[in-house]
Amino acid sequence: MASKQPAASAALKATFRLFADGDRVLAQNVDGKVIDIGALETKGDRYIVRLDVDPPALEPSHSVEAALRAVSSQLKFDYLDGLFTSEGPVDFHGDLFALPHVEWQLDEPLPRELTDGKPPHIF
């Protein structure tokens, strides 16, 4: 008896990056578009990211990179995708990778017709 193949993943991985540019936080998607998504606040020797839209409640972190990691762990694909759709690109000049940054992946949902085996209805 032939073994069953595992079901196809219902998502693709999308890579995002966050950069600390002074007191602002920039995000970059897989297409290379860069947008401004919030502020980097300093309180003594602690750092916290405050997103411009629907900010999560976060505790201050001991480093800029830790603050970026903390906020990235709270972000979902649909939220970021919506920001990249609605926000205009930032005109950044310089080396983004020279800035403090983090990179991570989120699951990008596949279109329904690829996950349920049924073509979409045509009206």
Q: What are phi and psi of 88, to 5 degrees?
A: -75, 155
Reported as a pLDDT band with limits 50, 70 and 90, residue 121 is: low
What average pLDDT is seen over the chain? Answer: 86
Q: Is the model's pLDDT at 28 over the cut of 80? A: yes
Residue ranges per domain, the chain? 13-91
pLDDT band for position 6 (cuts 50, 70, 90): very low
pLDDT band at 117 (very low <50, low <70, confident <90, very high): low
